[in-house]
Amino acid sequence: MKSKKLSEVIIKIFKKNSFVLSEPDVLLDSEYIIERSGEKFRRSMLTFKREDGKTMCLRPDLTVASCISFLKKKSSSKIYYSGQAYRRSNNKGSNFINDQLGIEIFGSKNRIHDDYKVISTILSAAKKINNKKIQIKVGDINLFKSLINSLDMPERWKLRLIRHFWRPSYFEELLIRLEENTDIDAVTFDTDKKKFYEMKKLDQDKLIAGRSILEILNRFEKKIKDPRSFSDGKQIVKIIKSYLKINCKLSMLDDKLLDFAKKNNLKKNIFKDFKSIQNLKKIKDDINFITNFGRDVEYYTGIVFEVFSGKKEIARGGRYDDLLKSLGAKKNIPAVGAAINLKNI
């Protein structure tokens, strides 16, 4: 009963902020998701086979399910949902059913405004149902991309570091390899090259793990042409590790980033695209910016945040401008959203 009353309060706030109810499907075509998004969700999916042999899954994520509904034109562009997500976990004793209430803005036309809209709406709901002090962690995946793209290193390394930023343990391995200038071995490279020429004969529009064969070939062509020798790995790794240590109050972020750029002889304007973060200064709550935060979900591309009370996470969300394309859209569709975790309230 308590959960039902809390849900009613939250939904009232969502409606007040012009979010419209969407009810995404509970059962999804697992092959559809895997074909377009690679291994992002395979390990967490609860799958089964229908009588006709088709593999289905319970929705592993309400954001993904809502994206699919939007692409099928079953929902509007500014929605809220209430329901359960079903996901495997490596944590012993954890429940695979998550009760969530969330909001999404698809086709976000004003990123700064919409990022703020989602966070402020979630905060309003959290404060209404929670009488303890609210704290907020914020990060921005896009700032990390800006840093990497500004550094003087081969393109292949930039692509690797950006692509695997969401996998902290593997990312650390990459940093060690970069520091020691240990690149792909010759045998692996020759094998990849052989595969490259085989793929040239295939349908260039065919999707593999969310990317067309043409996109894969273009990327590998850059890899072939990219110079193999690189000796400044130690300095590059030092800069990256220094950046990932930044953890400060939002009010101090401008000075921290300027100081970081100055100390590492970087251009002052490399972090020019963090207006969404700066815009959050209008929120008077306790906000911490952490460069190392928000790396556990692959599809985030920009601002990421978590709202918590004490040690309990109440809500989390962020911007994911690439996800809709990976799920079948013809082009990237800007989107941002967040969900409240009812079990922690």
Q: Which pTM value belongs to this model?
A: 0.81
Q: What string of H, E and C letters represents the secondary structure of 222-281?
A: HHHHCCCCCCCHHHHHHHHHHHCCCEEEHHHHHHHHHHHHHHCCCCHHHHCCCHHHHHHH
Residues 339 and 229 in one domain: no
pLDDT at 40: 61
Q: Is residue 149 part of a domain?
A: no
Residues 209 and 86 in one domain: no
**C-alpha–C-alpha distance, residues 292 and 139, integer Å:** 7
Which of 244, 259, 287 lies at the terminal end of a domain, its last residue? Answer: 244
Q: Is residue 279 part of a domain?
A: no
Residues 127 and 159 in one domain: no
Q: Is residue 215 part of a domain?
A: yes
**CB atoms < 10 A from the CB of 156, how many?**
20
Q: Is residue 305 part of a domain?
A: no
- Among 216, 219, 199, which residue's Cα sits nearest to residue 159? 219
Which of 187, 214, 244 lies at the terminal end of a domain, its last residue? Answer: 244
pLDDT at 87: 80
pLDDT at 93: 55
Residues 194 and 231 in one domain: yes
Q: Is residue 78 part of a domain?
A: yes
Q: What is the DSSP string of 69-121?
A: HHHTT-S-SEEEEEEEEE---SSTT--SEEEEEEEEEET-S-HHHHHHHHHHH
Q: How many domains does the chain have?
A: 2
At 259, give phi and psi (nearest 5°). -65, -40
- Among 327, 326, 293, which residue's Cα sits nearest to residue 308? 293
Residues 106 and 61 in one domain: yes
- Among 61, 102, 100, which residue's Cα sits nearest to residue 80? 102
Which of 214, 244, 274 lies at the terminal end of a domain, its last residue? Answer: 244
**CB atoms < 10 A from the CB of 198, how many?**
9
Residue 20's DSSP bridge partners are: 79
Residues 104 and 44 in one domain: yes
**C-alpha–C-alpha distance, residues 273 and 140, integer Å:** 10
Q: What is the average pLDDT score of the chain?
A: 85
Residues 1 and 127 in one domain: yes
Q: Is 191 exposed, middle or buried (0-12, 13-18, 19+ CB in 10 A)?
A: exposed
pLDDT at 69: 92
pLDDT at 231: 64
Residues 121 and 184 in one domain: no
Tokens of 157: 């390394």
Residues 101 and 20 in one domain: yes
Do residues 251 and 288 touch, judged by C-beta distance below 8 A?
no
**C-alpha–C-alpha distance, residues 37 and 159, integer Å:** 18
pLDDT at 186: 46
Amino acid making up residue 245: K
Q: What is the pLDDT along the chain (345 residues), one digit of tens a residue?
A: 467 888 899 999 999 999 999 999 999 988 887 776 656 667 778 888 888 888 999 998 899 899 999 998 877 799 999 998 888 766 665 667 888 899 999 998 899 999 999 999 999 998 888 767 889 999 999 999 999 999 988 888 898 899 889 888 899 999 998 888 766 544 455 556 667 777 777 777 777 655 677 877 777 666 655 545 566 889 999 999 999 999 999 999 999 999 999 999 998 888 887 888 889 989 878 899 999 988 777 788 999 999 988 888 899 999 999 889 888 888 889 999 999 988 777
- CATH number (domain holding residue 108): 3.30.930.10
H/E stretch holding 207: strand 207-208
Residues 105 and 223 in one domain: no
Q: Is residue 52 part of a domain?
A: yes
**Degrees (nearest 5) of the Cα angle 61, 172, 321?**
35
pLDDT at 337: 96
Q: Is residue 310 part of a domain?
A: no
Question: What's the domain range around 35?
Answer: 1-131+333-345
pLDDT at 193: 63
Residues 161 and 117 in one domain: no
pLDDT at 150: 93
**C-alpha–C-alpha distance, residues 333 and 77, integer Å:** 11
Q: Identify the residue whose tokens are 């969407």.
A: 22
Residues 7 and 122 in one domain: yes
Q: Is residue 341 part of a domain?
A: yes
